[in-house]
Structure 1
């Protein structure tokens, strides 16, 4: 053995945690072991070194100066081991990256752009799965998740912002023309703009929506109410229809069934192709999309590459 004077290595973790917390109980909680296990390891370490490392009072546990010096050295050594392990793991990671993405965003925005990902980042293989809401990287078989920040994100999860959410009513060009001719868009009120610029290229003198079927999605039932709150426009529909998923509601809008609330990322391609128009434009709703990961993206070159590509794709949103 090259290091004959090393103390028992299995005692160093509980020792360092005890010094840091000045408590065997909290050290045990951090390491997920019993108080007795920590106490035995501290005793083994003191016996090995031939010194007392803690002044034990009735309610306090005070590390000696020698204990603090040793704990600092152990902490530095552990930091070096941790850094080296991450470097090795980063170099060895070459397998597929498991990405969970909200279903409609996956179908309408991400999948159509995968050929560009293969072209721009040829060494990256991504396995896709549909999922929404909170994600547990300890439990779920995913490496990263693309989510809208409409739920609390744990403090230990890294959030890398991608783009802001913008929403507005969308419909087929034919329906927009029929509604315009039939005055299905309510006229502008006093003090309101006569025309609203919109990414769909269908500016409409309007203050609200009337005479049209509005389309809802069960997965985001408050979308119309959110838009009304943000714009203070009225909605007086002729009818309403609810679909199980946002994707279905947007497909119904493309088909001319009615008017749906379209988040920009989900309708961007349809607006560009002219399959949908946004008569009232789009407004920010205060949320945004993020790439969630269990560690900073720069620690995994696969995640860093995916994030850079996603941000490049999001520049037009």
Structure 2
């Protein structure tokens, strides 16, 4: 960029003077952005991505080609991929390219749509609420037959409980919500992510606590069962977001409309895929 470090420092100082708060703080091994700077970065990055995408659309004037969709790998595996055959039935000529990552990762610049988890706001992106985030216990039917019955929520404390490392409070919240008090969880197995916890439950390692919205295919197929229907709604939700534009490509509109319909139609109430052609 042909800009010296000193010039960059002066530009940062001028921006801090204009904004009225510091953007960086010094630490023992360098500098770190302040919380205000991180929030400002996300907003500015979204704006620059919108400019970049709009420029690409203007230059190419192409409204066809692959549809690039981004979401977390768990959402992709547990929710989107099991339903994607329905979209292919409706739009067989449309190529869909899925990219996945962590929920807190910056979005790639070439995406058409993304599914984000959080509370928003998602400005300057267009956003649509997809579904909430609730937890429910699950285990394999073979485990329940061999180690059951599990008749009350307190009975769960006699079983190995599977935890997800990033959400260690889920079991405590569910048990208290189900009326269990003054308990100690003595049989605990912690796994790195939700996907591993679900797989461990399928393999009969114990009882997992999982997101109801992601467990529909496994419950419907009989790989998992829910000892109790009681669920607990957690903070945050899943949103469909995409860059704001004056006109949207047909592929974006078709996928958006299909996805919103899928999110509002419970898996167990879905008609068979073959009926969608009629």
TM-score, normalization by structure 1:
0.58
Shift of 1:306: 1.1
SS in 1 for 2:130: strand
The corresponding residue for 2:142 is 174
The corresponding residue for 2:128 is 160
CA distance in 1 between counterparts of 2:175 and 2:152 reads: 17
Correspondence for 1:130 among 100, 105, 108: 100
The corresponding residue for 1:143 is 112
CA 1:294/1:87 → structure 2, altered by over 3 Å: closer, same or farther? Answer: closer
SS in 2 for 1:275: coil
SS in 1 for 2:94: coil
CA deviation string 1:163-197 (max 9, x = no partner)? 2222111111232234434xxx4xxxxxxxxxxxx
Q: Which stretch shows the higher mean deviation, 264-273 or 219-228?
A: 219-228
The corresponding residue for 1:302 is 251
SS in 2 for 1:291: strand
Shift of 1:227: 2.5
CA deviation string 1:42-87 (max 9, x = no partner)? xxxxxxxxxxxxxxxxxxxxxxxxxxxxxxxxxxxxxxxxxxx999
Shift of 1:105: 1.8
CA 1:241/1:122 → structure 2, altered by over 3 Å: closer, same or farther? Answer: same
CA distance in 2 between counterparts of 1:230 and 1:99 reads: 36
CA distance in 1 between counterparts of 2:98 and 2:188 reads: 33
CA contact (8 A) 2:153 2:175 kept: no
CA distance in 1 between counterparts of 2:112 and 2:168 reads: 29
Q: How many residues align?
A: 213
> Is 2:187 the counterpart of 1:239?
yes
SS in 2 for 1:209: helix
CA deviation string 1:99-153 (max 9, x = no partner)? 111111211221222222211122322211112324545x544222112225x54
Shift of 1:272: 0.8
Structure 2, unmatched stretches of 5+, are: 1-17, 19-54, 268-278
CA 1:93/1:225 → structure 2, altered by over 3 Å: closer, same or farther? Answer: farther
CA contact (8 A) 1:106 1:130 kept: yes
The structure whose Rg is larger is 1
Indicate the RMSD between aligned Cα atoms, in angstroms.
3.2
CA 1:171/1:100 → structure 2, altered by over 3 Å: closer, same or farther? Answer: same
CA 1:267/1:243 → structure 2, altered by over 3 Å: closer, same or farther? Answer: same
CA contact (8 A) 2:153 2:178 kept: no
CA 1:288/1:248 → structure 2, altered by over 3 Å: closer, same or farther? Answer: same
- Greater RCO, 1 or 2 (C-alpha within 8 Å, sep 6+): 2
CA deviation string 1:280-303 (max 9, x = no partner)? 213332432111212269733222
The corresponding residue for 1:119 is 89
Moved over 3 A (4+): 85-91, 134-137, 177-181, 204-208, 219-222, 228-238
The corresponding residue for 1:212 is 159
